[in-house]
Chains A and B, each alone.
Chain A
């Protein structure tokens, strides 16, 4: 059973899919954004040729590969190379039957399982073995997974997505603040980690449905950590180590393009306080943005996306407010740097007793 699907590793497979698809979202998203900038007030201005149209169209087509890419690399992570091609096909199916991200993830897992079953149970004479990888597995995995997508997965997921979208659409003005706040907090919580990517996937799915205010929340919230931490560093310089100040110099420009991973080293030293401060700022910013109903035309890009909000000014206000809240809270609750902290960057931990060693989770293969 373990060589077909290992539930403990499922997270790793999904993360693999996500790690391969981030560059796609960034590449296609920014290309599309530049095309959109050239277009000015409306995409229709671009016509059907010229630099702007080509850029926009390149990015646009790239974005459609998002779900196939995710699906393919989840499958790849589970079943290795033979799973890649069927994964792309099934992901494309998922995109076309509107099951989106959730469908793509499930599709990838299905392909992985089918490929692993084929590998385990199909045995051929040595001379024909080469056919297995070239012909039998790609065909069976594609055909079986494709059928399952249409026959089994499509129905419940489309229903689920409709229900979810309906629920979110029906949210009243009062709870919109909480809803936006929670989305914002999720986007911030783990600095581009799994929770952030879940929020991203969710907002992208909504975007595809035409609900674009969640995307704005997520874009703003993803930029708050670097700016908020930078503000707190300006307020309380003695609370950051030398290395952290250096890190910030790279993290802030990255933050302008919505890449929040740059501040991870800073968060790592003081996880609880940094996350708490960031979550507070993002909660308020996200809630406010959602109450205003500010929508984003673009999926990505940080500041590049701002001109394409319904109201760029409101976007900036949310970002500034959230960053300020994060900055002030963090400047207050963070502890001053001690000599030990300056050395902590090189901290390698310590030897442990036998019982404590048991707690370290490893896998022996």
Chain B
């Protein structure tokens, strides 16, 4: 699958970046293509490429707070998860995403 992700935690200092790392690694380990941006306390970094968003099968939001530029994901299948849930078991989470996508497919 092709995925794009956004990570953002409350303080935007630690969990945001841990979540991004783990999301990228776990998704790639399971054979998916993924890019992920962070919305930490200094704003958006590694901003998602509009082309990647267009081509993505699913948008992963690992967020504890509201994020900016949500309008980019209009009409896409979006899966939202707390950063702590993701960090606890990234592989399990990706596995769950796979299952959900299998069942629901594109919106």
Q: Which of A129-137, A174-182, A276-284, A354-362 contacts B (4 or more CB under 8 A)?
A: A354-362
Compute how far the CA of A2 lies from the CA of B39 in the bound complex, rounded to whole angstroms: 26
**Contact at A350–B79, with CB atoms within 8 Å?**
no
Chain A stretch 1-48: residues in CB contact (< 8 A) with chain B: 12-13, 15-16, 18-19, 22-23
**Partner of A192 from B11, B18, B95, B100 at Cβ < 8 Å:** B11
Compute how far the CA of A265 lies from the CA of B19 in the bound complex, rounded to whole angstroms: 11
**Contact at A357–B96, with CB atoms within 8 Å?**
yes
Q: Which of A156-164, A256-264, A287-295 contacts B (4 or more CB under 8 A)?
A: A256-264
Compute how far the CA of A35 lies from the CA of B81 in the bound complex, rounded to whole angstroms: 43
**Contact at B81–A362, with CB atoms within 8 Å?**
yes
Residues in chain B near residue A76, CB distance under 8 A:
66
**Contact at A15–B13, with CB atoms within 8 Å?**
no
**Partner of B14 from A12, A265, A349, A365 at Cβ < 8 Å:** A265
Compute how far the CA of A363 lies from the CA of B78 in the bound complex, rounded to whole angstroms: 8
Judged by a CB distance under 8 angstroms, whether A352 is at the interface is: yes
Q: A158-202 CB contact bits vs B (8 Å, 1 = yes)? A: 000000000000000000000000000000000011100100000
Residue of A nearest to B40 (CB): A19
Compute how far the CA of A351 lies from the CA of B90 in the bound complex, rounded to whole angstroms: 9
**Contact at A19–B65, with CB atoms within 8 Å?**
yes
Residue of B nearest to A23 (CB): B41
Residues in chain B near residue A194, CB distance under 8 A:
10
Compute how far the CA of A302 lies from the CA of B45 in the bound complex, rounded to whole angstroms: 28
Chain B contributes a number of interface residues (CB within 8 A of A) equal to 37
Interface residue range, chain A: 35 or more
Of A356, A361, A364, most B-chain CB atoms within 10 Å: A364
**Contact at A361–B82, with CB atoms within 8 Å?**
yes
Of B25, B80, B92, B100, most A-chain CB atoms within 10 Å: B92
Binding site for A on B (CB under 8 A): 9-15, 18, 22, 25-26, 29, 41, 63-66, 77-82, 85, 87-93, 95-97, 99-100, 104
Task: Beyond A348-B89, A360-B89, A362-B93, list 9 extra A-B contacts (CB 8 Å).
Answer: A15-B10, A19-B12, A19-B65, A76-B66, A262-B13, A352-B95, A357-B96, A360-B85, A362-B97
Binding site for B on A (CB under 8 A): 12-13, 15-16, 18-19, 22-23, 73, 76-77, 192-194, 197, 259, 261-262, 264-265, 268, 346, 348-352, 356-357, 360-365
Query: Top 6 closest A-B pairs, CB basis?
Result: A349-B89, A77-B66, A16-B65, A264-B14, A365-B78, A261-B13
19 inter-chain pairs at a CB distance below 8 angstroms, sorted by A residue, are: A12-B64, A12-B65, A16-B66, A19-B65, A22-B11, A77-B65, A193-B10, A261-B14, A265-B18, A348-B26, A348-B90, A350-B91, A351-B92, A357-B99, A360-B81, A360-B85, A362-B79, A364-B78, A364-B79
